[in-house]
Amino acid sequence: MATILDGKAIAARVRAEVAGRATAFRERYGRPVGLVAVRVGDDPASEIYVRGKKKAALEAGMHAEEHHLEASASEAELLARVRTLNERDDVDAILVQLPLPRPLDPEPVINLVRPDKDVDGLHPVNAGFLATGRKGSRPCTPVGCLKLLDEAGVKLEGAHAVVVGRSNLVGKPVALMLLERNCTVTLAHSRTRDLAGLVAQADVLIAAVGRPRLISGEWVKPGAAVIDVGMNRLEGKKLVGDVHFESAQERAGVITPVPGGVGPMTIAMLLSNAVDLAERRATGATRQAG
Ligand code: NAP
C-alpha cells in the first residue's frame, strides 16, 4: 500500500516559510511583495483559482490585487493593462489567469509580461532559461511536483521518469526539471504508442493529461512514485485525477491524492516564486544603485 503524499501539509510548510521571507522583504525594503492577477471574463473555475491565490498572498503578508476585465475586452485593452503593471515599481509578480475567453490569444500577453515579473514562468525567456539549465522563473505546478518528490525522499538520479502530457504549463517543464535532476525522462502524449507499457517502466510517473482516471493502477510499476497533476470533474461533480487512485495506491510506493496533492502545492510555489522575483528585482536594483 502506497504512502499518500499530503500536499496540503507540505504546502502549509512552504507557505509559512514564504510568509517569513515576505515579512523580511517588507522590513528590509519598506514595502510588501506585490502580486497582481489579471483575469478576463467570467470562467467560474478561473474566478475560484484567482480568489484562492489572492487570499493566499494576503495571508503570506503580500500586497495582492486582482484586475478583472470583461469577457468582451479587446487584446489591446488586455495588453495595455499588462503594460501598466510591467511599469509599476510596487508590482513584483504578474499572473494572467488562463484560459482567456475566445477570441483572445494567450500568446501576445504571455510574451508581454516582463520576464522578471513573470510569476508563472511562461514567458519564452524563462522557458528558454529552464531548457538551458539557467536560473529564472519556473512554472509553479512543475516546481510543486519536484518539491513533493523531494519531500517524499524519492531518489531521482538515474530513475526512469515518465511524464504523460506535454503542455508548456506542466508536461514539458516538469520533464526538463526531472532531466536536470538526472532522471532518464520519457515524455508521452496523445500519439504515444503503448502508454500502458511505458507507464509500467516508470520509477517516477507524472500524469498531466486532463482525462479522468486514464492511467489504470494495474499499469503502475510496483514501488513507483506517482504524482497526479490531473484535475477532472466527473458528472456528479467529484474531482478525480488522471490516475485511477484506488488501484494505483495498491502498487505505488508513494502517491498524491486528488484533491489535496499537487493542487495546494501550485499555490504555495506561486507565492514562493513571487518572493523570489521581488528579492531578485530588489537586489538587482540595489546593485545598480550602488
Ligand atoms: P493540456 O494543455 O490540455 O495538455 C494535456 C496533454 O495531455 C497534452 O500534451 C496531450 O497530448 C496529452 N494527452 C491527451 N490525451 C492523452 C492520452 N489519451 N494519452 C496520453 N496523453 C494524452 O493540459 P495541462 O494544462 O497540461 O493540464 C493537464 C491536467 O492538469 C488538467 O487536468 C489540468 O486541470 C491539470 N492541472 C492541474 C494543476 C494543479 O495545480 N493541480 C495545474 C495545472 C494543470 P497532445 O500534446 O498530443 O495533445
Closest C-alpha residue for ligand 1 atom 47: 190
Per-residue pLDDT of 194-249, as tens digits, reads 999 999 999 999 999 999 999 999 999 999 999 999 999 998 889 999 999 999 99
Q: Could you tell me if 173 and 139 are in contact, meaning their C-beta atoms sit under 8 angstroms apart?
A: yes
Distance, in Å, from the CA atom of 198 to the CA atom of 187, rounded to the nearest integer, reads 10
CATH of 29-115, one of 3.40.630.30, 3.20.20.70, 3.40.50.720, 3.40.50.10860: 3.40.50.10860
Topology (CATH level 3) of domain 140-263: Rossmann fold (3.40.50)
For residue 237, the model assigns a pLDDT of 87
For residue 104, the model assigns a pLDDT of 98
Average pLDDT, the chain: 96
Closest C-alpha residue for ligand 1 atom 34: 231
Burial class from Cβ neighbours inside 10 Å (0-12, 13-18, 19+) for residue 42 reads: exposed
Per-residue pLDDT of 93-139, as tens digits, reads 999 999 999 999 999 999 999 999 999 999 999 999 999 999 999 99
Q: Which of 269, 263, 221 is nearest to 240 (CA)?
A: 263
Distance, in Å, from the CA atom of 15 to the CA atom of 265, rounded to the nearest integer, reads 9
Q: Return the domain boundaries, the chain.
A: 29-115, 140-263
145 Cα distance to chain centroid: 8
Within 6 A (CB) of ligand 1 lie 141, 164-167, 169-171, 188-192, 195, 208-211, 214, 229-232, 262-263, 266
Per-residue pLDDT of 131-182, as tens digits, reads 999 999 999 999 999 999 999 999 999 999 999 999 999 999 999 999 999 9
Of 54, 92, 118, 120, which is the active-site residue? 120
3-state secondary structure (DSSP) of residue 99: coil
User: Is it true that 29-115 and 140-263 share their CATH fold?
Assistant: yes
